[in-house]
Amino acid sequence: MGDRMDVHPELAGILAGMAPRPDDPLADIEATRAGFKALMAPLARPADGTVLIEETTVPGPDGNTVPVQILRPAGAAPGPLPAVLYIHGGGFSYGELDGPSPMARDACTETGSLVVNVHYRLVPEHPFPAGFEDCYAVLCWLAANAARLGADPARIAVAGASAGGCLSAALSLAARDRGGPALAFQTLLIPCLDDRLDTPSAHRITDPRLTNRAKLRAMWDAYLPPGAVSPYAAPARAGDLSGLPPAYVLTCGLDPLRDEGLDYARRLMEAGVPVEVKDVPGAWHLFEASAPDTGLARRTTRHWLAALRTALAAPLDTPLDTPLGASVTS
């Protein structure tokens, strides 16, 4: 396990009951995908009328089509809505349910935003840059079609967890470098940002029950073709972080990715980018999926949703202790 792990008291019993997971999630990718769906399924709420969902496809970068789901808060006030491109996590190789990501649904209901939930191509079938370019194509489509979708092109954010946080950071870099679309905010939740995996936290967390360095090494080896080192694949490799949109960075104390997330937040600050940082001591990577009913999970989720809502100037009259999934109205 490396150094002694100080587990948060709310999570200790849950961790004790968790089983070890394979060091290479891609060795049996179909089993991994099925297992992640089973883990996340309890977080998916049945249709309750608070979210209107439209399914469509967007032209992709390689003659492909990218499936997306467009989420709208039911009963939203007239006028353009802020918009969020939500990118799911899952090691670039799994991580999406049949319906919208639970986190995409939360972003819709809790921030009053139009959310585009993107189903980008996955590894090992499609290594970098396929998934990244899919997400960029959808971002460009969202900005170009903002008026038709009822979205405000001046209030577009990217958000994602883990691999989705990596892709969100990469899109922020690409939007700057390629001359758009303009982004108002980037929400980087437990992001994987550095393929080198050489931070203290990457070496410290070795528990096979948790995301650890071995699992992350297998992920990066599958995602990156040999020699394909790029800031759009591993944003920590970017030499210049100036001119990027304001950011929110979430890290967890027992996550091997913690230090690269904190390092990236520090570098953003040094480049003059406004950043809010939230670290959750004693919690592991994506602990909310294993412990969704704990106070710690609910507080953590409320925190990033509140930051996103504030950044997009969505209605602020809903108290932060509103139950997750409740509809935001103006």
Choice among 134, 195, 207, 255 that is catalytic: 255
Instruction: Give the other-Cβ count within 10 Å of 153's Cβ.
Output: 18
Choice among 93, 101, 162, 168 that is catalytic: 162
Nearest to 124 by CA among 219, 195, 214, 36: 219
Is 172 noted as a catalytic residue in this protein? no
Q: Which two tokens stand for residue 255?
A: 């996550």
Is 255 noted as a catalytic residue in this protein? yes
Q: How far is CA 180 from CA 5, 140, 244, in A?
A: 43, 8, 11
Strands of 65-73's sheet in order across? 51-59, 65-73, 114-118, 81-87, 151-161, 185-189, 247-252, 275-280
d(CA 168, CA 178): 15
- Work out the burial of residue 211: count CB atoms within 10 Å of its CB; fewer than 13 is exposed, 13-18 middle, 19 or more buried: buried
Choice among 88, 119, 126, 285 that is catalytic: 285
Cβ neighbours of residue 290 closer than 8 Å, sequence gap 6 or more = 14, 18, 39
Instruction: Give the other-Cβ count within 10 Å of 317's Cβ.
Output: 7
Question: On the CB side of 223, how many CA atoms lie within 13 Å of its CA?
Answer: 28
Residue listed under structure tokens 């210049």: 240
Please answer whether residues 151 and 160 qualify as being in contact, where contact means their C-beta atoms are separated by less than 8 angstroms: no
Polymer length of the chain: 330
The angle, 0 to 180 degrees and rounded to 10, between the axes of the packed helices 102-111 and 295-311 is: 60
Cβ neighbours of residue 282 closer than 8 Å, sequence gap 6 or more = 6, 7, 8, 9, 11, 253, 254
Is 285 noted as a catalytic residue in this protein? yes
> Would you please indicate which residues are annotated as catalytic (active-site) residues?
162, 255, 285
